[in-house]
Amino acid sequence: MTSVVEIDIAAPRARVADLFSDPANNPKWMSDIERCEPEPGIPSVPLTGSTHRLVPKSGNRVFVATVLSKDLPDELRLRLEAPNVVVSIVDRFVATSPEVTRLVSEEEFRFKGVVNSMLGFLAQPAIKKPHRRHMDAFKQFVEHELLRER
């Protein structure tokens, strides 16, 4: 199952990509994330191959995020893993003008096992809605950060 969200953000492409690629910012715009923890022994700088844990505010579904490639300000590729699902993420940053960036976020879900695959198929609307909500929240976060910096 794939979910694609495109959103225009009133900020320069390099700034949008920097804010998005820093896992320390995730709890600032992902309302369901309590904290982001670098894996022990791994530098907190999100380089290709680095991992961090996304710890939720409620529940126990912790995702381990791995940076697959980081070609900023153009693109960031991540893999999120939980016991029953793997999410491949490609985020592209496209300058539509010097002060506007289009974020194209694509998430592909692969569920582990037959039962989880069936549940995932049935839950498609419930999966796509948080993706849109997260991208809208990121847009607000970036635009608020730029106002604060001025």
Q: pLDDT (tens digit, 0 to 9) for every residue of the chain, 150 residues total?
A: 889 999 999 999 999 999 999 999 999 999 999 999 987 655 555 677 888 999 999 988 899 999 999 999 999 999 999 998 899 999 999 999 999 999 999 999 888 777 666 666 666 677 788 899 999 999 999 999 998 887
pLDDT in tens, 53-94: 999 999 888 999 999 999 999 999 999 999 988 999 999 999
**Residue among 104, 149, 87, 133 nearest 13 (CA):** 104
Phi, psi (deg, nearest 5) at residue 14 = -60, -40
CA atoms of 36 and 44, how far apart (whole Å):
10
pTM for the full model? 0.88
**Residue among 64, 74, 9 nearest 40 (CA):** 64
